[in-house]
Amino acid sequence: ASTWSNVPQGPPDAILGITEAYKADSFSEKINLGVGAYRDDKGKPYVLPSVRTAEEKVISSQMDKEYAGITGVPAFTKAAAVLAYGADSAVIKEDRVAITQSISGTGALRIGGAFLERFYPHGKSIYIPTPSWANHKAVFGDSGLEVKQYKYYNKDTIGLDFDGMVADLKAAPNKSIILLHACAHNPTGIDPTPEQWQQISQVVKEKEHYPFFDMAYQGFASGDTDRDAYPVRLFIEQGHGLILSQSFAKNMGLYGERVGAFSIACESTEEKKRLDSQIKILVRPLYSNPPVHGARIASTILNDPALNKQWLGEVKGMADRIIEMRALLKKNLEELGSKQNWDHITNQIGMFAYTGLKAEQMDKLAKEHSVYATKDGRISVAGITSGNVKRLAESIFKITG
């Protein structure tokens, strides 16, 4: 028998299955709302003009292709930290952020998982929201942490189960690790309000929990990178130590370039130095050092004042288009005479809308209307355009009444 004859067939990735079904559909007006990537109003992938310009600068500067250091391109990580924590942040001013470039957001989460598994001095469980991005469980589980959950989504209100969340955070053992989506919660699109964040910060403090922020959509939610970083900055102000994962996949459209950062807000520069040394020891046997091209693009955008300004405008443009499509979808449903309340479509924020549609309804959407999205009722609002929103609303109306 072959060495691998005992390897079982694994289940296909849920999202890839949707893409395949979408591709196999010959209907010319089919709609793909499965993918978590931005599309322009023609439904096409979008390369930000600021990214094109930055890339041309990088190429024309004829840099060499030598290895970066283990922690990546320093000009990039320095600017990424400022983008996240804010230039006025105490952790930036006092030089106490340990940071490394990462293989986008996923890679940052994985470094975080490995770091916690190796060094966290308390219970090695991480609490993630119910639901959460499906990969969280896999990333932290594969890192050797025990993955537990706290309440987040209330299916009756299609909103946040704030009381349930707080109760679960209180019920968790002291000093637990808590994974928080900084903004544009995936898959629900439901974020706590600033007041709720303040209460969450309080509870996390009382319980001496350790916060781990996943910020995969900074700027992409509200259109404003400072506003979207609110919870991270609030927690810093409130004196929490924390871990942060950053991705530039969405806000710079650098998906396949894999640009991200992993950081730990430390208590002192001395602590930062110790943690930095261990992050290097951890990363070295994983992949030695990260790719340079995407980080050079991001660094050029973050460090060139004119390009940075242009980029912020383009991020806002993407966020605004998504917000507009939410409003249009809701308006179309109401104009069709839908008796249901669709306020959650516009109350939610970021790439995804959690429609509240059930698995059977999602099946019908695909089979009868050629509208493809995940069974949990999540639709990628980025896949909606002014050209397909009417047919999408009609399809949803037909299956919900």
Applying CB under 6 A, which residues contact ligand PMP? 36, 104-106, 133, 181, 186, 214, 216, 247, 249, 260
Closer to ligand PMP by CB, 373 or 396: give it.
373
CB 152 within 8 A of CB 160: yes
Closer to ligand PMP by CB, 35 or 362: give it.
35
Concatenate the DSSP letters of all residues of 351-393 into one string: SEEE----HHHHHHHHHHH-EE--TTSEEEGGG--TTTHHHHH
Query: Nearest distance from residue 182's CB to ligand PMP, in Å?
Result: 9
Query: Nearest distance from residue 260's CB to ligand PMP, in Å?
Result: 5
Closer to ligand PMP by CB, 328 or 373: give it.
373
Closer to ligand PMP by CB, 116 or 389: give it.
116
Tokens found for residue 390: 């009417």
Query: Nearest distance from residue 46's CB to ligand PMP, in Å?
Result: 16
Closer to ligand PMP by CB, 86 or 187: give it.
187
Tokens found for residue 237: 């102000």
Tokens found for residue 371: 């509208």
- Give the active site residue among 168, 214, 276, 376: 214
Query: Nearest distance from residue 181's CB to ligand PMP, in Å?
Result: 6
DSSP state of 69: B
Query: Nearest distance from residue 202's CB to ligand PMP, in Å?
Result: 24
Q: Bridge-partner residues for 371, per DSSP? A: 31
Separation CA 180–CA 132 (nearest Å): 10
- 214 catalytic per annotation: yes
- Give the active site residue among 133, 197, 311, 342: 133
Residue identified by tokens 């995407």 is 294
Concatenate the DSSP letters of all residues of 280-325 into one string: HHHHHHHHSS--SHHHHHHHHHHHSHHHHHHHHHHHHHHHHHHHHH
- 250 catalytic per annotation: yes
Closer to ligand PMP by CB, 380 or 400: give it.
380
Coil, strand or helix: which one is 18?
helix
Is-cis flag, bond preceding 187, omega within 30? yes
Beta-carbon contacts of residue 276 (< 8 Å; ≥ 6 apart): 71, 98, 100
Q: Bridge-partner residues for 147, per DSSP? A: 126
Q: Supply angle C-alpha 385, 316, 299, rounded to 5.
A: 120
Closer to ligand PMP by CB, 215 or 365: give it.
215
Query: Nearest distance from residue 117's CB to ligand PMP, in Å?
Result: 19
- Give the active site residue among 30, 148, 250, 272: 250
DSSP state of 183: S
Separation CA 162–CA 130 (nearest Å): 12
- The residue type at 148: K
Separation CA 78–CA 88 (nearest Å): 14
Closer to ligand PMP by CB, 216 or 325: give it.
216
CA distances from 297 to 53, 64, 210, 327 (A): 9, 14, 33, 33
CB 356 within 8 A of CB 155: yes
| Residues acting as catalytic residues | 133, 214, 250
